[in-house]
Each structure stands twice: as structure tokens, then as C-alpha cells.
Amino acid sequence: MGKVIDPFRFAAEARTQSGEVEVAKLPRLKDSLADVNAVLSWRLEGWLESSMLSGREEPRLKLLIDGALSLRCQRCLNGIDWQLAIATVLQPVRAGQQIPDEELEDDEVDAIEVEEGLDVMALLEEEILLALPLAPRHEKCDSPLGRNGAGEESPFAALASLRGSNRAD
């Protein structure tokens, strides 16, 4: 499950892999979440696709990821239920090989450089991180309360009061 040894052969033989992954096992993702007790399902499919520009068959990988995450609201720091549904098509390119310009212009396919095998879990984590909203927030929520549980005055409130008193007329 952890690695596709040869993604080019995987695509040429139209193979598939699927499974489930515990979110707690994705270390870079944990910081964005309010709760790491979720399980995501994934599927990796390979095939060859004829390139109209080069006339050759090019390897393609389709990655599907589904599940629900509990993101951390940037206002109140509580959890937000967020449905994850990723379907991305990738073109593996050998390390050092130049990515053709026409592939760079194709918004439906992302080229990825592959050195020695394809780490599926790292790919899953990367695609999930790219899909997350930059600053998840509830539509309506309260900002967190101070240490004593009551709303505390902002330290900048005192500066705001000084702003009007030092003006030259």
C-alpha cells in the first residue's frame, strides 16, 4: 500500500490500488485539523492515454480521495465538518525529463516527477493539503474567550483611544 514501485508500468498495465488511511497517520495534515479521528478512503487508477500532440501513449494516474474532516475554524478554533472529495489526474514524468509545454498548459492533468517509485501516502497527504481551504471559518461564530472565560478588552483598544487625542489641529 505504501509505494507503487513503477508508476509507468502501473499505468501501462491499467492497475488499481485502493484502501483507507487514518488521518492521524498523515503528520503534515494534523496541524490543520480540530480532530484527527477520521478515516479517508482512496483509490489510485492507472491507464495509458494517447497524446494528440506527441502521438505516443502517455501514462496517467487518477487519484480519488473521499471522506470527512474536522478542520479548525480560524476564528473560534472549534471544529468545522468539511467533506473531502478529490479526483485528480496525474501524469508521471521520469526524474530529469522535461515536462512538455502542452502538458503544462493542460489544466486537467498535473505532471509529477517520479524518481524511485511513488509514495502513495505522501501523494495522498499532498493532494489533501492542496485541497484544504486557506482559512476555514464558520459563517457565524464567536471569537474565543479570554483565559478567565470572559470577553477581555483588546490590547489595541488603548491605542485606539490615543489616536484621537494627539492630532494637531
Q: Of residues 154 and 4, which shows the higher confidence score?
A: 4
pTM for this entry? 0.76
Q: In 3D, which of 64, 90, 77 has the Cα closest to residue 33?
A: 77
User: pLDDT tens across 82-117, in order?
Assistant: 999 999 999 998 887 776 666 556 677 888 888 878
